[in-house]
Amino acid sequence: MDVAPEKCNIIKFSHLKSNSNPIANCAVFNGANIPPVTQIRDLGIIFSGNLVFNAHINTIVGNAQRRINVLFNILKHAPLEIFLKCFIIYARPLLEYGSVVFSPVLKELVRKIENVQKSFIYRCYKKFGKVYNGYFNAIQECGFESLEYRRLLADLSFIYKCLVTKDVEMPNHLFYTYPKLSHLRRHKYYVRTTLPNKYKCFSQYLSIRSLACWNSLPESIFISIPTPDCFRTRLRALPLQNYLTLSDLNY
C-alpha cells in the first residue's frame, strides 16, 4: 500500500511529564509535511500522547448520549422492551467497543461511562411510570448488567484467549510471566506482570488492572477442553463484585 501523507500525523507517547511536551516540528515524508498532534484516532480509539484515554471516553459518552436522545425522539410510542433492545443494539456498543484497550480504573471515569446506562434506565422508568429503586435493582429488573462488570468480563475473556486457548497472539504475552510457584490455591495459569506499577498511568493497562481478578479465579473454571464461550459462561457464575468499583453503597 502507498502511504498517503495527507492522512498522516506524528505523535509522541510518554508517561513521563518531562517528555509530555508535543513535538514542535512537522515531519517530512515524500516532500509532504506531516503535522504533529497530541491526540490521534486509530481503529476507532482515540490515543493521547500522555497515555490516558479521557478524550476517548468523553467522545464515546457524548456519542452514546446523543444516540439515546434520538431513540427517545423516534420511539415515542414503543413499549419498554423495544427501548431496552434498541439501547443494546445502538448505544451500548459505542461504550464497549475496544474496552480492552481503554477500560478505566479511575472512579471518576468509571462513573462517567456508567452514567450513560443509568440515565437511560432512569428515563425509561420515568417514561413508563415504573418505580425506580436504585440503579442496580433497575438493571437487574431489566435483565441488564453494569457496564463496568461487562468490561471486566471482556478483560478476563481476552486474557483467556491469549494465555489459554492462544486464539490471540500478543507480543510479550501481555507482559505476563509464569512464576515458579507451587500453591494448591493457585490455578495453573497464575501469572505476574513484568510492567512496573510505579507510574499512575500503568494501573489502567490490561496487564495490571485485571491481574488480581484473573489470579483469584478458581481452578475449576479452566476446563480440560478450553473454549472462550464456556469460560465466559462460568465467569458469570462467580462473585466478582469485589473487583468492581461501583456498588449499591457508592452509586
Query: What DSSP string describes 205-236?
Result: SHHHHTHHHHHTS-GGGS-SS--HHHHHHHHT
83 grid coordinates:
427501548
Residue 184 pLDDT class (50, 70, 90 cuts): low
Name the DSSP class of 192. E
Q: Please choose, from the candidates 212, 245, 228, the residue with its C-alpha nearest in 3D space to the C-alpha of residue 146.
A: 245
Q: Please choose, from the candidates 237, 103, 234, the residue with its C-alpha nearest in 3D space to the C-alpha of residue 160.
A: 234
Segment 219-249, tens digit of pLDDT: 889 887 878 899 999 999 999 999 999 999 8
Residue 140 pLDDT class (50, 70, 90 cuts): very high
Rounded to two decimals, the pTM is 0.90
Helix, strand, coil fractions of the chain, as percent rounded to 5: 50, 10, 40
Is residue 175 pLDDT above 90, yes or no?
no
The crossing angle, in degrees rounded to 10, of helices 54-74 and 107-127 is 0
Torsion sign across C-alpha atoms 142, 146, 152, 154: positive
Which residue do the cell numbers 439515546 mark? Answer: 68
Segment 8-23, tens digit of pLDDT: 888 888 877 765 566 6
Residue pair 211/97 in contact by the 8 Å Cβ criterion? no
228 grid coordinates:
472462550
Q: Alpha carbon of 160 to those of 6, 74, 141, 231: distances in Å?
A: 39, 40, 30, 8
Q: CA 16 to CA 86: how far, in whole Å?
A: 42
Distance of CA 246 to the CA centre of its chain: 15
236 grid coordinates:
458469570
Work out the number of other CB atoms within 10 angstroms of the CB of residue 158: 20
Percent of the chain with pLDDT over 70: 94
Query: 33: which strand partners?
Result: 28
Query: 231: which strand partners?
Result: none
